[in-house]
Amino acid sequence: MPANIVVPEVGESIVDARVAKWLRQEGEVVAVGDPLVELETDKIDLEVSAPQGGVLKRIDRKDGEDVKVGEVLGVIEDASGAGAPAPAQTASASAKPPEDSKPIEKTRSTPTARKAAEEHEVDLSRVRGSGDAGRVMRRDVEQAASGGNARSAAPAMPAPVETHKARSVAPVAESRRPVGDRSEERVRMSKRRATIARRLVEAQSTAAMLTTFNEVDMSAVMALRERHKQAFKERHGVGLGIASFFVKASIGALRAFPRINAEIQGDEMVLKRYYDVGVAVGASEGLVVPVLRDADRLSFAEIEQHIREFARRAEDGTLSLGDLKGGTFTITNGGVFGSLLSTPILNPPQVGILGLHAIQQRPIAINGQVAIHPMMYVALTYDHRIVDGAEAVQFLVRIKQLVEDPGALLLD
């Protein structure tokens, strides 16, 4: 009896997807649970597996097509209903050497892993996967490219000479580009990038956004980190960064100014008594904002561990919808890319976002004397519809006070 392959329900906020790549072809014999097709959504990438064993009879939606939840992607027909050709296909499949089926298993990988494999010229079939069910992740490819993580049973990698030759072609070809050549390349946006673009425009058109600025002396935090960094890492297995200080400081400021931890629903303000702090993470496929649930209950070490794990999974493409849903306030750090000052855009329906920036040694006046201190500009973008300017300014002042006196974070 035939079975439809449908776009699964991933979450209430995801209603459509894009067919990234079919992993099997029409006429192939598949077993129940075999991955058939990769889908790309605005938040996560996922595989759709075979609902039953049989023959992939028909592919209805091709690579690159946009689809909606519940739509039919293709049809699987069980062996008994596949008709006369089915036995021949099954026999043909069984007659193939076992090695023919191994690359499929070996190359189960995330989209970012495949992209990295192209960049580093790594054969995915020779990379040992560390993800679920042996799935190859980006980190596996990068490790293999540096000389590690190769499968023991795999033959040796191509000789370095060949790799050197392949990489030397590009600059030579570029140097011979005809004078006056003004070629262009048209690249379709990924589903995630298109959604990011749409949401940013929506945020600007639906909220009364305004940004206020301040600067923070990072001397106390830097000194505290220097004193405790080794013991902290030995005890918790993760470095003590600045993010945890700003998460803690933000919660303290949100408690003092609860309307910045709210959202607008119709003509009502929903004031939230919990603190789910989103932390913006940059990945090759675009910015994502995984959420620290009940961040007020997390220790410094737990915050740092969560953020580190979010960054890894964002690059691997393994963040779940649950990691990304919700959030009452967001922190974004452009300083990791060198930004000195910026105006962050709200992440609707939130009404506040804190922007961190690069730490820079600057001269400041202290008690009438000029001194050089590590300084950071901070920015708060807020929805002026429910947050007054005075609240926003005082919110940033509270952030400044807590970070400049990190001991106060323990008492707040």
The residues that are catalytic are: 384, 388
Cα–Cα distance for residue pair 327/13, rounded to 1 Å:
14
Task: Report the half-sphere exposure of 377 (CA within 13 A, side-chain side).
Answer: 16
DSSP conformation letters of 179-210:
TT-------PPPHHHHHHHHHHHHHHHHS-EE
Task: Report the half-sphere exposure of 247 (CA within 13 A, side-chain side).
Answer: 28
Task: Report the half-sphere exposure of 110 (CA within 13 A, side-chain side).
Answer: 27
Task: Report the half-sphere exposure of 78 (CA within 13 A, side-chain side).
Answer: 8
CA of 392: how far to CAs of 28, 113, 256, 258, 334, in Å? Answer: 60, 42, 11, 11, 20
> DSSP class of residue 155?
P
DSSP conformation letters of 42-97:
SS-EEEEE-SSSEEEEEE-S-TT-EEETT-EEEEEE-GGGS-THHHHHHHHHHHS-
Find the radius of gyration of the CA atoms of the chain: 26
Non-local (6+) Cβ contacts of 96 within 8 A are none
